Amino acid sequence: MKKTCIATALALAGWAVAPLAHAQSEETDPALALASGSSEAGSGSVTLYGVIDANVEFLSHAGSKGGSLVQMNSGGIHNSRFGIRGTEPLGGGNSVWFVLESGFNSNDGTFASANTIFNRTAAVGLANDHYGSLSFGLQYTPMYDILLHYDPMMFAQQYTWFPTTGSQDSFAFRARNNNSVKYVGSFRGLTAIAAYSFGGDAASFQSSAAYGAGLDYDGGSFGAAVAYDYRNGAINSSNTWTRSRNLSFSVRQDIGRARLLAGYEHYLYTPTKSGSQAQALWWGGVRYPVARRLKLTAAYYYEQNKVPGTSNAWMGVLSTQYALSKRTSLYATAAYAQATRFADGSYTPVGTTDNTAFGSNQTGVTIGMFHKF
């Protein structure tokens, strides 16, 4: 059934696949690009696009006996994915747009999410040149859209501590929400984003609901942003639910060819019975284009864990990319984490992974390539 659905989607896209401009090296949210009017509108178009990213990784302290691991992964810099996006002008500065995007694992060809085809984005919206865009569906949260451009590693799984910080010591904001209504507007360098996700529970309107908002100022060589993310858990037998909140502040400054980035994210979790838990993440880094084809990125993440009896953790990252063409790049990344210990003897690992570390520190080294189409 999955194969039939995908084949049908590609066939529908094939009748009017527009030429895709040379892909940039930075991560982008196609839906946000269309919503903000920064993608082609023209006389209407349908575009098939994607990226495939594969790498080989070395990890220390990857087993309970302290052993190392060498493995192949998908998505070291960019999550492997393909999608279909399109626009239709309605006249008077109005247009309709849609995005359908699916993630997959390049190392084995499986879907990134089982039993879900378009797990990354499935959205349709109306856009106006002056007033912005209103859209509906599975969409990225405002905090994701904003922090994507302020994380030095741009959410690269190898390695960043966004949007999660390992398998257990996690204070992740929600990357995307189902059943979401989202607004995006740009006004003289200021982008405003707001979204609400319906919980869909007849027992309570607030059960499993989520919302968020953000402001991002682009002053050319300087930028600053604030973002907020809130979500409720499902209602329980006591007619209560958990609450999770994230608040972030971030800045960037260009000095010559270098781009400096820094920020702070605060997390507060309120369970239904026990006391609240708070954590914080500080980060900073620099991106520097050494030459036309070569760029370097250095990043540092420091986690303040305010849970009693739990220590703090930090991670340093150094990454380089070499462009073979405008669509294809080679990359190498190294990271070292001095990590928090948990009750089961495991530690916070490098990067965003479902694995755990089994030592007070962990080193990760990745060599890979990606191609955009």
Mean pLDDT of all residues in 120-124: 96
Confidence tier at 171 by pLDDT (50, 70, 90): low
What is the distance, to the nearest Å, from the Cα of residue 18 to the centroid of all Cα atoms in its chain? 26
The reported pLDDT for the residue numbered 151 is 96
Tokens 């049908």 correspond to: 8
163 preceded by cis ω (within 30°)? Answer: yes
Confidence tier at 228 by pLDDT (50, 70, 90): very high
CA pair distance 41, 86, nearest whole angstrom? 8
Question: Who has greater pLDDT, 272 or 15?
Answer: 272
The reported pLDDT for the residue numbered 169 is 47
CA pair distance 45, 260, nearest whole angstrom? 36
All residues at 6 or more sequence positions from 35 whose CB lies less than 8 Å from its CB, including other chains: 97, 125, 127, 132, 133, 135, 182, 184
What share of the chain has pLDDT > 70, as a percent?
A: 84
The reported pLDDT for the residue numbered 14 is 37
* Count of positions (residues) in the chain: 373
Confidence tier at 185 by pLDDT (50, 70, 90): very high
The answer to whether the CB of 232 falls within 8 A of the CB of 208 is yes
CA pair distance 278, 258, nearest whole angstrom? 34
Percent helix, strand and coil across the chain, each to the nearest 5: 5, 50, 40
216 membership: H or E segment, kind and range: strand 210-218
pLDDT reading at 261 higher than 80? yes
176 membership: H or E segment, kind and range: strand 176-187
Mean pLDDT of all residues in 27-40: 67
Query: Per residue in 266-309, pLDDT tens?
Result: 988 888 777 788 888 999 999 999 999 999 999 999 988 777 66
The reported pLDDT for the residue numbered 238 is 78
CATH number of 2-372: 2.40.160.10
DSSP helix/strand/coil, 34: helix
